[in-house]
Amino acid sequence: MADCGEADGPVKKDDIVRAKNEGKELTKEEKQRLRKEKKHQKKQKDEKRPSERVKEKKPVAPSQPVATQPPTQKAPTVLPASAPIPVPVSGAPSYSSPAPSPADKPAKSRAEQKAERRARQEADRASKQQSCSSSSKTKAPPSELNPVVKRLPEHVQVDDPAVVKRLTKKFERQQIPLRSDYDYKVSLFSHLHQYSRKAPLTQQLSIPSTVIHPSIVRLGLQYSQGIVVGSNARSVALLHAFKQVIRDYTTPPNEELARDLVNKLKPYISFLNQCRPLSASMGNAIKYIKKEISNIPSQFKEEEAKTKLQTCIDRYINENVVLAAKAISKYAIEKISDGDVILVYGCSSLVNHILCEAYDKNRKFRVIVVDSRPRLEGREALRRLVQRGISCTYVLISALSYILPEVSKVFLGAHALLANGYVMSRVGTSQIALVARTFNVPVLVCCETYKFCERVQTDSFVSNELDDPDDLMVTRKGKTQLENWHDVSSLRLLNLVYDVTPPDFVDLVITDLGMIPCTSVPVVLRIKNLEQ
Amino acid sequence: MELQAVLMAAGGGSRMMDLTYNTPKPLLPVGNKPLIWYPLNLLERVGFEEVIVITTKEVQKMISTDPKVKLDVKMKLDLVCIQEDADMGTADALRHIQQKVKTDVLVVSCDLITDAALHEVVDLFRAHNATLSMLMSKAHEFTETVPGQKGKKKTGEQRDFVGVDGTGKRLLFMANEADLDEGVVIRKSIMRKHPRMHIKTGLVDAHLYCLKKSVVDFLADNKSISSIRGELVPYLVRKQFSKSTNSPKVIDETHQNLKKNDSNVNLEIQISSRDEELLHLTQERSCWNDHRGDMSDAYHGGRLRCYVHIMDEGICYRVNTLAAYIEANRLAPKLFDEPAVHPSAVVSERCLIGADSIIGASCQISDKTSIKRSTIGVSTTVREKVKVTNSIIMHGVTIEEGCNIQGSVICSNAVIGRGADIKYCLVGSAQRIEPDAERTNEVIVGTDQLMEI
């Protein structure tokens, strides 16, 4: 809020107060009116500094949501205190290109700032006059409004009944059954979904599934039962299922493939989201597919279009998963020297691939596999490495500080890399990174670029995934201690899946574009956006 | 389309000939509905819209005129007739309809009465890309006395040995006592892959199978297999662990050979091979394994997998013996919510009808009768002072005054004379019991219907 200035102070406070009292709708109304006013002014003043008006609009717009969002939203997605202006700009990404705005900010002169303030004051005065005459109930859809408005995604607002109602209506429209939450949630995480594996979504579907394509139903089952696990595997399986959907698709009469197919995919994506929340890589893959489908020229015949889409999918997987893995292992092998002791956590397909490749290239190293409950994925990683012939040690995460003095490097996999440089990975990864930092052991994160996400997060609470809490029960010698945990009213079980690691603990990120520091993630995102 | 339903209704009911010599098994009334209504209702409830029903000409005629089936069943029934005397097994019947089968099939038998959650069976089939997925249930002891049985019930029924793995879902071993000479023989290769196996004997096979399409095509080639339950299922279970199924499995090869003449073959094989690559890539990158303790990949690299869902609680009966028939009649009312007394029955006021009895349509129940725990069929006439306890009365029966019927099964169109005392008997179709008769524990059938040995 550095560009607001003192003169704006009282006006801004009025805005905030009004926003607090009348809710979000009115601020959007205000913005609409603001824009209308500006258009009027533009016409009247006749091209007087048109470029500055455009610039004014953009910086005015993000600063306003920054001001009004913290009071009206519980969990801010935009970084509050520590972040300077560039963060909200980069955090409001896909709608406005981040490139021009940060470049503009330092170049702004005092005159431009004054003009900005004047325009805002006039607009506020005009909107105050109009506020009594306009109806307050009209709520324009967000896509037509100020495109920089960041809404909380629906999957982190489960305890808000209005959001839940909206979701149920949406599912009814799409004819997808609603999966009910497993109600015993820890109150700090009550805003997230928690499902029980004993209540699959297929209970409510008809058996020869007609609404949802059978390969999508199969995929959803495999996700929810944990048969397809891991960011890469889930994306590949998703694209494979989409290939089958596209193959079985026929354009209905009077419809265009480009538009109808995208609409067909929407209920499938909602269905998969309910079986298991989508990962960042899956989200990027879906965005890519949707873009490819909508870019199909209308003169293509159906068969041509379908084959084109199939080849696009094959190419996407080949480039982003297979070749990326090859490129990453090439870079990573440079970092592995003979006599190294490498620590890995859980089962990351990419890290396993790197280690197997390094072993094939005759590097001499040994591996320490760190594992944690309840998933115990390290056992599978251990099996794959030992099958290749690599000598391994296996410990649980509680033994981490005892084993770290022996370790020379830590290789971690990632579920997603967030735009502020944080690494989102399996729960426990941040612990490993923290302890490794204390022991001065370098931490290298390996991640393909298609997992880079434009989201911003600094803690593991806001957006996470809650797994089935019954997984925490373990039966030893016929006794299950937590068998009747439902009956204990003050006991709640929490099974988190992901956590975020701050960039200070990560020394290097190895991607298919090269070896970059953690803070360069927004740069890569920018490059990717420009490429597209 | 994902699954096609196939209902096997051509069986003869060879284990309850006394009931089925006049009425074909699919049309035996259970709770006043024909037996075939139950699996059809089950399929309709889970969402099927079409069913292929394999049956005989006689049954086909009766089904098309049966009001219950016509009114209640909204699915499209595709009736396929086979000859009665052809002695076709269930696998032969599947081979017969091979042309109609376009996707994976769900095979149900007409004598299955269950309230199982079918999605459990189908989920196993989908999630693990299984070749076979079936339903089994813990067997319950039959508590009702069976009419016509002399002495204690023989437990000479051949037992089934079913071997499952630690999770209780993967089917490792299946054999019937009749096929085993001396003892249960388990191959070492199975033990090496699955060191912990649970062998169960007290299970009832519900005869509900999800089969992949390639199995139906395989049947078309191998004409020696004639029964699904007796031959095909044990064959598939054994084939899971055979050495040749580690590379392209035998069934796949025969499937491809079949389609060589088809012009679309190359495209399909190409498509399927590219998809296979992606599936393989997914499995490679996914850090999941169905077992642990050895060095092999998920499913031990095997392509053929058989799964079973074992129901712990709930109703699951196969009505293929008299005892099962009686038990099913007791429990069938719990499966649907119709009123116990049909609205069109004429029931006089001074009769006692117990809460768990069912009175069919167009019945006439006269005064001072007492009906407890029984099922009265359609168009039955019950005169005064009759006591009916624990019995099953089928359609069109006339029971004269003063009779006492206990624990019996009276088949359709029979006439029980005045004052008769029938205990634990089975009265065949259209039989007449003379007045004041006293019969206990007998099977009364006509001389012309006696079984030919």
Neighbours of B323 (CB within 10 A): 20
**Per-residue burial over B405-414, b = 16 or more CB atoms within 10 Å of its CB, e = otherwise:** bbbbbbbbbb
Å between B125 CA and nearest CA of chain A: 9
Confidence bin at B68 (pLDDT 50/70/90): low
| Interface subset of A 373-392, CB within 8 angstroms of B | 377, 379-381, 383, 386-387
* Model confidence at A97: pLDDT above 50: no
What ipTM does this complex have? 0.85
* Model confidence at A86: pLDDT above 50: no
Phi-psi region of A252 (alpha: psi -120 to 50; beta: other; left: phi over 0): beta
Confidence bin at A64 (pLDDT 50/70/90): very low
Q: DSSP of B373-419, one letter per residue?
A: S-EE-TT-EE-TT-EEES-EE-TT-EE-TT-EEES-EE-TT-EE-TT
Q: pLDDT digit string (tens) for A301-349?
A: 889 999 999 999 999 999 999 999 999 999 999 999 999 999 999 999 9
Using DSSP, state whether B203 is helix, strand or coil: strand
Neighbours of B49 (CB within 10 A): 14
pLDDT at A100: 42
What is the rounded distance in angstroms from the CA atom of residue B325 to the CA atom of residue B311?
20
* Model confidence at A27: pLDDT above 70: no
Lowest mean pLDDT among A77-81, A352-356, B225-229, B444-448: A77-81
Q: Which residues of B fall below an 8 Å CB-CB distance to A?
A: 1-5, 46-49, 106, 117-119, 122-123, 126-129, 271, 274-275, 278-279, 281-289, 292, 295
Q: Do A347 and B279 touch (CB under 8 A)?
A: no
What is the rounded distance in angstroms from the CA atom of residue B268 to the CA atom of residue B274?
10
Q: Which amino acid is at A337?
A: S
What is the rounded distance in angstroms from the CA atom of residue B394 to the CA atom of residue B32?
8
| Nearest CB partner across the interface for B295, out of A217, A244, A387 | A387
Q: Do A322 and B129 touch (CB under 8 A)?
A: no
Which residues does A321 contact at the CB level (< 8 Å), separation at least 6? A232, A235, A236, A448, A450, B281, B285
What is the rounded distance in angstroms from the CA atom of residue A275 to the CA atom of residue A222?
9
Provide the token pair at B110.
Answer: 């007409």
Using DSSP, state whether A527 is helix, strand or coil: helix
Q: Which amino acid is at A339?
A: G
pLDDT at A139: 43
Confidence bin at B449 (pLDDT 50/70/90): low
What is the rounded distance in angstroms from the CA atom of residue A433 to the CA atom of residue A423?
10
- What value, to the nearest 5°, has the Cα angle with vertex A69 and ends A64 and A75? 155
* Model confidence at B257: pLDDT above 60: no
Using DSSP, state whether B294 is helix, strand or coil: coil
Q: How far is CA B266 from CA B251, B253, B272, in A?
A: 18, 14, 10
Which residues does A232 contact at the CB level (< 8 Å), separation at least 6? A281, A321, A349, A350, A448, B285
Provide the token pair at A17.
Answer: 């107060």
* Model confidence at A395: pLDDT above 70: yes
Please, are residues A182 and A199 in contact by the beta-carbon 8 Å criterion? yes
Using DSSP, state whether B330 is helix, strand or coil: helix
What is the rounded distance in angstroms from the CA atom of residue B305 to the CA atom of residue B133?
9
| Nearest CB partner across the interface for A218, out of B48, B126, B289 | B126
Residue B253: name the closest of B303, B315, B185 by CA.
B303
**Whether residue A374 has a cis bond before it, omega within 30° of 0:** yes
More confident site: A20 or B95: B95
Lowest mean pLDDT among A9-18, A41-50, A353-362, B399-408: A9-18
Q: pLDDT digit string (tens) for A103-113?
A: 444 445 777 78
**Which residue has tokens 């209970």?**
A203
Q: What is the DSSP letter of A194?
A: B
Å between A506 CA and nearest CA of chain B: 24
Q: What is the DSSP letter of A376?
A: -
Residue A221: name the closest of A272, A281, A180, A270 by CA.
A272
